[in-house]
Structure 1
């Protein structure tokens, strides 16, 4: 299952309800506002209510169809700040502190990681870059 809500759960409020998000339905198509069901946080995951999300140059390139392999429809805004509405299990920040309901956190979803190289497994950099992640990010 790879639904749009699972790829970008940052606009959530609480499981069992819905959230609204701006969606890029395809290359060179106008942005739409859609509603999605909120999926409960899985083990080690959080549901974050987005307070602020930046639309960056990558999002503009996605909307304009300048990037190959984009899984349309897609929710833009991969740099977000929000409040944790639900934390399922032992969720920790990159510095090791526990993440709890009510915490203000940031969500950086830039690239998938390979989950194999040193940078992804040990250093756990915020996002893989072609100069660090052996998979190229």
Structure 2
């Protein structure tokens, strides 16, 4: 197999040739068709997340075909197209797993962080944490759904039932979530970097009611706001934009420090909450919604060996939507 490997934090990925991996009990091996590039991958590469296992193959928005089964596995069957997300395994016995919050598991395994991920031609995964992608014929288009889509869906669920939803940072997650919100009959207000007209135009083309910079005031107060950009200074901006009783959801795994802000921004029962990881139930729910809503993704394709370029382009906002590596 071929893989792009992170050997040291802050260093470029290195191309390696390895023996094809063998699945253990309860595992499957997947021939990777596509792996989207997530901002979390940048946090892994930059050493901003704890407990990254080095060396590691990054990548957790994986789509591929099951080509080998480990002992005890009957489902998914050989030849099935599956998606493999960030949450790669949970213990099943800690208090969080026991009460249905496996996303908060005390002993989790994360794809592309604490186990090898999808920047490769093959990957091994826990069969119970891989999802059949029936009805998703294009692996490149489906790859961003496995994190940008899933974490967007969990963030939207935590935002509540409000009609007016603000999205701060209009990247891979927001361009998917805008379509879901519009399908649900909600209004979307998109907040971008100052002067990022391409992102604003994209938001409007996908049905957003308004698009502007994060420093602008939207024409209406929001019921909820989701902050996807890893910029803590956006949290006070989002609080300014939500109505009394509104909620701000921090949708990233890593964010710069939130600056001090006056209590009056939080007063009147506004809330700030965070999203951590995802559950398998999230995946089941979201994939059904994505099919029903006819969600499409905007992608820029890179060969596997250009993973470093894809990461650099993501870091500097050089494309709209999502980057996808294809072996």
Is residue 39 of structure 2 the alignment partner of residue 57 of structure 1?
yes
Q: Secondary structure at the match of 2:42?
A: helix
The Cα offsets for residues 98-136 of structure 1, whole Å up to 9 and x where unpaired, read as 32111101112436523313764696x8xx323xx4x28
Task: Please tell me the root mean square deviation across aligned C-alpha atoms, in Å.
Answer: 2.6
2: distance between equivalents of 1:71 and 1:53?
19
Structure with more of its chain in helix, by fraction: 2
The Cα offsets for residues 59-116 of structure 1, whole Å up to 9 and x where unpaired, read as 1011112122211111111120100111234425xxxxx3211110111243652331
Identify if the C-alpha distance between structure 1 residues 136 and 72 changes in structure 2 by more than 3 Å, giving closer, same or farther: closer
Is residue 91 of structure 2 the alignment partner of residue 114 of structure 1?
yes
TM-score by length of 1: 0.65
1: distance between equivalents of 2:69 and 2:33?
17
Contact 1:24 1:74 in 2 (8 A): yes
1: distance between equivalents of 2:24 and 2:44?
28
TM-score by length of 2: 0.30
Contact 1:55 1:76 in 2 (8 A): no
Q: 2:10 aligns with which of 28, 50, 70?
A: 28
How many residue pairs get aligned? The number is 108
Q: Shift in Å at residue 44 of structure 1?
A: 2.6
Identify if the C-alpha distance between structure 1 residues 33 and 83 changes in structure 2 by more than 3 Å, giving closer, same or farther: same
Q: Secondary structure at the match of 2:40?
A: helix
1:15 corresponds to: none
Identify if the C-alpha distance between structure 1 residues 112 and 40 changes in structure 2 by more than 3 Å, giving closer, same or farther: closer
Contact 2:7 2:55 in 1 (8 A): yes
Specify the structure having the higher radius of gyration (Cα).
2
Runs of 4+ deviating beyond 4 Å = none
Structure 1: stretches of 5+ with no match in the other structure:
1-18, 93-97
Q: Shift in Å at residue 55 of structure 1?
A: 1.9
Q: 1:72 aligns with which of 25, 49, 54?
A: 54
2: distance between equivalents of 1:105 and 1:82?
6
